[in-house]
Structure 1
C-alpha cells in the first residue's frame, strides 16, 4: 500500500494558478468533498468510486487546490 505524501504531511506541493500565476493553497483530498461522511470512509474504497482510473490502482491521490487571489480551483494528482 502506498501513501500520499501530502495527505500524510511528508511534503507540500507548490503549485501555481493556471489563471493568474499566484501560488495555490491545498484544500484537501477530492474524495473528502463528496458528502458529509466521505472524510471518514476507507481511502482505498473511495478511490474505487472517484471516477479516475489512476487512483484505484493506488498510484495517485487527487487533491483540490484553490487560488486565494482569483478563486480558481483545480484538481492535481499527487504521486504516492
Structure 2
C-alpha cells in the first residue's frame, strides 16, 4: 500500500500564495476537516468519503494548503509513494 509523503513527514511542499506570495501552510488532509473522527478508520474507508472520486484509485492524498496572511486556500493532490 502506498503512503502519503506529506502525512508521513517525508517531504514538504513549498508553494507560494498566488495572491500575496507568502508561503502556504500545509493544514493536513482534507478528510481530517470533513470527519474529525475519520483518522480512526482505515485509509481506504476514509478515501471513499473524502469527496474526491479518484483518490483511492489514483493513490493521491488531498491536502489543504492555507495562506496565514490573506487566508487564501487551495487543495493540492499529493502523489502517494
Q: What is the TM-score of this pair, normalised by structure 2?
A: 0.87
Misfit runs of 4+, over 3 Å = none
* Runs of at least 5 residues in structure 2 that lack an aligned partner in the other structure: none
Partner of 2:38: 38
Residues 1-80 of structure 1 mapped to structure 2, 5 A cutoff: 1-80=1-80
Which has the larger helix fraction? 2
Cα distance, 1:6 vs. partner? 0.2
* Runs of at least 5 residues in structure 1 that lack an aligned partner in the other structure: none
Give the secondary structure class of the aligned counterpart of 2:57: coil
Deviations 1:31-57 (A, max 9, x none): 001133123222211111122122021
Give the secondary structure class of the aligned counterpart of 1:57: helix
Cα distance, 1:20 vs. partner? 1.7
CA RMSD of aligned residues (A): 1.3
Q: What is the TM-score of this pair, normalised by structure 1?
A: 0.88
